[in-house]
Amino acid sequence: MSDRLTFPKGFLWGAATSSYQVEGNMRNEWTEWEKRSVEKRVKESREESWHDSWRGYGKKERNPEFSKEASDPANYISGAAADHWNRYEEDFTILQELHLNTYRFSIEWSRVEPEEGVFDQEAIDHYKAMIASLRRRDIEPFVTIWHFWLPVWVAESGGALSPEFPTRFTRYAERMAREFGKDVTFYVTINEPDIYTSLSYLLGFWPPEKKSVILHFRVLHNIKEAHKKAYAAMKAVAPHAKIGITKQFMHFVVLRKTPWNLVARRFADWWWNTSLVHALEGYQDFIGFNYYQKKIIGKDTRDQTKILHTDISWEYDPESIYDALLDAKRYGMPIYITENGLADAADRLRGRFIVETLTSVHRAIEDGAPVLGYIHWSLLDNYELDKGFWPRFGLVHVDFATQKRTIRPSARLYARIAETNTLETD
Ligand code: BGC
């Protein structure tokens, strides 16, 4: 039976990127860290157990299909990345070709404020030109102010842990809101604050590689303060703006309903999903909803051979977004799905993933979740953080040697849905 699932009028259809992962040729905390850690990362990629975390990085992630690329030192230097800094017009033409009406991207703090309190007008004008180009094409800019990495001067003066951090961040965020004025409505101040503190301060995988529960909580506290301060300052100069953070939500599932598992599920849901949203109450105009996969509480007793995995071995899980969206209904705010996608170099699963995910999203909307947009991660293959280039999340394939862009078949399928605001299933 074929079905036509129509999305609400004015639904935002988009794709996302972030500065460091696509722009290329910059100098920030992470580009400095890359150089220092190449050898370590190459060595790790050869080890039996590549680093393991609750985010889904685990042994299986050492996908043999990619071991050659993963053990090449060049994989760990972001370099020109996807050269989006120079090729953004070409990339925006692709957005248009894909019928997308929003684009989420981030401002590179190290470019616009390379030294404390010294703003680089040329870099700011570059972002203004990007925004103007999007506007000309009727594409709504969805601007992230800070996506995980810091200018070197911020990192060297205590990073996000410094008592000065909220003030520094606010000065930068306010300046951006003032510069962009009426041309930007949607702002994400901070991308995934708790993923950042977990991976950078608790598990020590990302710079500054700290492993401390205390630091994790201190930085998280500081970041929340930074967001609130920036929110107020940005609203003062751009009252029209809709401002929030993005957060990676998780849906926790219990397979065996033991009393312990049920209590653990409640706690995990409160601790991971709700506590941050509550802490920012009054300082968010929407829920920036990033979603990748569910989490099993207790022993995973499922037949593992029946579970599909993406290239970085995260579970192929297009359905649990339904439950996660219904969980998020309780916050009583409009929801924008600001990231969702998968590493799939061969484009084997992506088309099916998009269709199944959007079917789940549509069902969640019918059941009352106020979802107003879907932004796929990512527009382009990019530099996937500590993993380097081999995990390919792009709707568009990028040949990093020639910078040639090729639209993947799954993107064409997504484009049809965006163009008609309707998903046809059979
Ligand atoms: C981050 C992106 C990243 C993606 C896939 C998200 O948590 O915001 O920067 O590329 O996950 O790992």
CATH of the domain at 418: 3.20.20.80
User: What pLDDT shows up at residue 180?
Assistant: 99
User: What pLDDT shows up at residue 50?
Assistant: 52
Identify the residue whose tokens are 């993923």: 195
Q: How far is the CA of 280 from the centre of ligand 1 (A)?
A: 22
Q: 354-384: per-residue pLDDT in tens?
A: 999 999 999 999 999 999 999 999 999 999 9
User: What pLDDT shows up at residue 410?
Assistant: 98
In three-state secondary structure terms, 111 is: helix
DSSP characters over 357-397: HHHHHHHHHHTT--EEEEEEE-SB----GGG-SSS---SEE
Q: Which of 57, 192, 377 to mutate to test the pocket of ligand 1 (most atoms within 8 A of CB)?
A: 377
Q: Using alpha carbons, list the distances in angstroms from residue 255 to 98, 134, 252, 295, 349.
A: 39, 46, 10, 11, 26
What is the separation of C-alpha 403 from the centre of its chain, rounded to a whole number of angstroms?
22
Using CB atoms within 10 Å of the CB of residue 73, give its burial: 0 to 12 exposed, 13 to 18 middle, 19+ buried: exposed
User: What pLDDT shows up at residue 65?
Assistant: 76
User: What pLDDT shows up at residue 51?
Assistant: 46
Q: How far is the CA of 312 from the centre of ligand 1 (A)?
A: 12
Ligand 1 atom at minimum distance from 378 CA:
10
Q: Which of 339, 340, 344 to mutate to test the pocket of ligand 1 (most atoms within 8 A of CB)?
A: 339
User: What pLDDT shows up at residue 49?
Assistant: 52
Q: How many domains does one find in the chain?
A: 1
Helices (H), 238-383: 259-268, 275-279, 321-328, 350-366
pTM > 0.95: yes
**What 8-state DSSP symbol labels residue 288?**
E
Q: How far is the CA of 256 from the centre of ligand 1 (A)?
A: 30
Helix or strand run (H / E) with residue 338? strand 335-339
Q: Whose CA is nearest to atom 5 of ligand 1?
A: 384
Q: How far is the CA of 285 from the centre of ligand 1 (A)?
A: 22
Residue 389 CA to residue 199 CA, distance in Å, equals: 19
Mark the ranges of the chain whose per-residue pLDDT is less than 70.
Answer: 1, 48-63
The end-to-end CA distance of the chain, in Å, is 5
Ligand 1 atom at minimum distance from 377 CA:
4
Neighbours of 326 (CB within 10 A): 15
Q: How far is the CA of 260 from the centre of ligand 1 (A)?
A: 32
CB 213 within 8 A of CB 202: yes
Ligand 1 binding pocket (C-beta < 6 A) is 18, 21, 191-192, 195, 248, 290, 339, 377, 384-385
Ligand 1 atom at minimum distance from 248 CA:
7
User: What pLDDT shows up at residue 395?
Assistant: 99
Q: How far is the CA of 196 from the centre of ligand 1 (A)?
A: 10
CB 154 within 8 A of CB 215: no
Q: Which domain holds residue 41?
A: 3-425
